[in-house]
């Protein structure tokens, strides 16, 4: 397993892994196609596309019925999710368990004396290190040349029947591609960002810290400010990390909707549940994902809020519909037995 992660955590070792797909070692392969959110013109001759309008999340649009003045019931909200008649296995609370007990929020909250940019960088690298394990389980080919995720089984990158994700081609056009190809591009894209010293500087002398207001008055800095500036991160660092988290979420959503049974057969469903609930807590706590981004996995977020996975007061709990989660628990015959 140590070799599996050798190219992931370069920032915190102060050097680049020789096995990581850096620019010098990828000249034989085509340049990665940036995902839609990161596709911004880099020169004055680039074609500029108007930004797409953002749509409200499902949780935000489900409120009071303006015509009747009635608040929808939990059953009505659950129906509006348009789940398949046979609900996914992961929506049964008996299969939504974790390998450990405790409050994952303590792993996501930034320590007082850690600079926010450093903490966000650490979370990006750490969550990618965990997710890439599950990606390779379904993506890597066996000796016979087959893989669990393939173009026949997953002809597009989807999360159920209601959500699919596109990638921008070389002409900046969104196109649907098989999930296997999407996973290939995601690995290349995220690894390339993490291994880029201009985005994730790995010089130990540049690591900064945050002043603890309990012991001193923070020294104001001059000039324009952004998250991670004092540690050497670029001005668009937070935007890049949000894009990385959005891509990681889409991979998790595909794994749950298309490959949960495969991971269950390998006895890995609790491990993925643990990683994903930690991921959601981190993403919401650090504002790395918007509520609209969470829509494909909203039912599971509701369920975990009802089961206490997301503690009250956390942002993950706030974006959940507790009544829907409680209804899902009821439909499964009560809370899971330990």
Q: pLDDT for 45-71, tens place per residue?
A: 333 444 444 444 555 445 555 455 578
Q: pLDDT for 3-31, tens place per residue?
A: 433 333 334 433 444 343 333 333 333 34
Is the pLDDT at 338 greater than 70? The verdict is no
Cα gap 90→270, rounded to integer Å: 10
Residues in Cβ contact with 337 at an 8 Å cutoff, skipping those fewer than 6 apart: 94
Cα gap 193→155, rounded to integer Å: 27
Q: What is the pLDDT of residue 100?
A: 81
Q: pLDDT for 67-99, tens place per residue?
A: 555 788 999 999 999 999 999 999 999 999 999
Q: How many Cα atoms occupy the beta-carbon half-sphere of 32 within 13 Å?
A: 22
Cα gap 184→192, rounded to integer Å: 12
Q: pLDDT for 206-261, tens place per residue?
A: 555 555 555 444 545 556 789 989 889 999 999 999 999 999 999 999 999 999 99
Q: What is the pLDDT of residue 224?
A: 75
The binding site consists of: 149, 154, 254, 259
Q: Rounded mean pLDDT of 176-195?
A: 96
Q: What is the pLDDT of residue 70?
A: 75
Can you say whether residue 257 is alpha, beta or left, with left for phi > 0 and alpha for psi between -120 and 50 degrees?
Answer: alpha
Q: Which of these, 318, 328, 314, 316, lies nearest to 276 by C-alpha position?
A: 316
Q: Rounded mean pLDDT of 134-144?
A: 93
Q: What is the pLDDT of residue 31?
A: 41
Q: What is the pLDDT of residue 296?
A: 97
Q: Residue 228 to residues 231, 240, 252: CA-CA distances in angstroms? A: 5, 12, 27
> pTM of whole model > 0.85?
no
Q: What is the pLDDT of residue 307?
A: 94
Is the pLDDT at 292 greater than 70? The verdict is yes
Q: What is the pLDDT of residue 143?
A: 87
Is the pLDDT at 35 greater than 60? The verdict is no
Can you say whether residue 34 is alpha, beta or left, with left for phi > 0 and alpha for psi between -120 and 50 degrees?
Answer: beta
The binding site for Zn(2+) consists of: 149, 154, 254, 259
Is the pLDDT at 145 greater than 70? The verdict is yes
The β-bridge relationship of strands 174-175 and 167-168 is antiparallel
pLDDT band of residue 146 (cuts 50, 70, 90) is very high
Cα gap 46→39, rounded to integer Å: 11
**SS3 sequence, the chain?**
CCCCCCCCCHHHCCCCCCCCCCHHHCCCCCCCCCCHHHCCCCCCCCCCCCCCCCCCCHHHHCCCCCCCCCCCCHHHHHHHCCCCCCCCHHHCHHHCCCCCCCCCHHHHCCCCCECHHHHHHHHHHHHHHHHHHHHHHHHCCCCCCCCCCCCCCCCCCECCCCCECCEECCCCCEECCCHHHHHHHHHHHHHHHHCCCCCCCCCHHHCCECCCCCCCCCCCCCCCCCCCHHHCCCCCHHHHHHHHHHHHHHHHHHHHHHHHHHHHHCCCHHHHHHHHHHHHHHHHHCCCCCHHHHHHHHHHHHHHHHHCCCCCCCHHHHCCCHHHHHHHHHHCCCCCCC
| Averaged pLDDT of the chain | 80
Q: What is the pLDDT of residue 255?
A: 98
Q: Which of these, 7, 49, 11, 5, lies nearest to 237 by C-alpha position?
A: 11
């Amino acid at each position: 397993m140590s070799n599996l992660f050798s190219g992931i955590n370069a920032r915190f070792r102060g050097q680049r892994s020789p096995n990581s797909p850096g620019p010098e070692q990828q000249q034989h392969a085509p340049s990665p196609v940036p995902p839609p959110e990161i596709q911004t013109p880099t020169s004055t001759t680039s074609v500029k596309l108007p930004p797409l309008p953002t749509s409200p999340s499902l949780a935000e649009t489900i409120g009071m019925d303006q015509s009747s003045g009635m608040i929808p019931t939990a059953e009505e909200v659950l129906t509006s999710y348009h789940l398949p008649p046979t609900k996914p296995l992961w929506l049964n609370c008996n299969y939504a368990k974790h390998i450990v007990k405790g409050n994952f929020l303590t792993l996501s909250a930034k320590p007082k004396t850690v600079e926010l940019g450093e903490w966000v960088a650490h979370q990006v690298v750490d969550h990618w290190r965990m997710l890439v394990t599950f990606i390779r389980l379904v993506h890597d080919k066996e000796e016979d040349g087959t893989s669990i995720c393939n173009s026949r089984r997953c002809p597009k990158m989807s999360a159920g029947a209601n959500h699919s994700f596109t990638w921008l081609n070389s002409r900046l056009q969104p196109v649907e591609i098989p999930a296997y190809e999407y996973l290939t591009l995601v690995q290349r894209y995220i690894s390339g960002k993490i291994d880029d010293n201009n985005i994730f500087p790995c010089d130990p002398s540049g690591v900064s810290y945050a002043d603890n207001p309990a012991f001193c008055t923070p020294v104001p800095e001059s000039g324009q400010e952004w998250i991670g500036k004092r540690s050497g991160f670029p001005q668009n660092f937070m935007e890049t990390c949000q894009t990385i988290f959005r891509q990681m979420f889409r991979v998790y959503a595909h794994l749950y909707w298309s490959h949960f049974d495969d991971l269950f057969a390998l006895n890995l469903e609790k491990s993925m549940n643990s990683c994903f609930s930690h991921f959601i807590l981190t993403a919401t706590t650090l504002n790395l994902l918007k509520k609209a981004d969470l829509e494909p996995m909203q039912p599971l977020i509701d369920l975990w809020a009802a089961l206490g996975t997301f503690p009250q007061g956390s942002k993950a709990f706030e974006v959940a519909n507790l009544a829907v989660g409680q209804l899902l628990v009821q439909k499964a015959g009560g809370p899971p037995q330990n």
